[in-house]
Amino acid sequence: MAPSPEEVVRATFVDSDEGRSWKAYMAPDFRMHGAILGAIAPQGGLEPEAAAEMMSSVRHRTRLLQLENAPDGRVFTEFALSRDSSAGHGSAQIVYALWSVHEGLVTELHYAEDPGTLRREAGLDPVAPAG
């Protein structure tokens, strides 16, 4: 039996924070949309190879702040992302993402600056519950 979408998403955070690529969780037809780590995905999205390359090219750490299962089966996340630069300084940002997972593999990942947009798209209340 395939892991739940929530389990898959949590595993990608663990692997990423431990310095491992989470490409093993990407479906062959995986697409990444939106902007993260200062890079903007092209109109059709980034394919698995390009997405894995982008994510592994920068040392980063994440802290999962919120994970919510959406009524449509997707998973909404809010997380803090910090990264180091070769110049000795770093940056941090809050990232909002909507994950589509099918049979234990991530098929699509959408990043957005506005959490309400992703939450509405997934059928969630645009304002996250407190707590």
- Work out the average pLDDT over 27-31: 91
Q: Is the pLDDT of residue 108 over 90?
A: yes
Return the pLDDT at 82.
80
Question: Is 131 domain-assigned?
Answer: no
Backbone angles phi and psi of 54, in degrees to 5? -60, -45
Residue bearing the bigger pLDDT, 119 or 84: 119
pTM (2 decimals)?
0.82
Give the pLDDT confidence score for residue 77 in this predicted structure.
Answer: 95
Phi-psi region of 19 (alpha: psi -120 to 50; beta: other; left: phi over 0): left
Q: What is the pLDDT of residue 130?
A: 60
* Total number of domains in the chain: 1
Tell me what pLDDT residue 28 has.
Answer: 92
The parent domain of residue 80 ranges over 5-121
**129 within some domain:** no
Residue 130 domain-assigned (yes or no): no
Answer for the pair 125, 119: CB distance below 8 angstroms, yes or no. Answer: yes
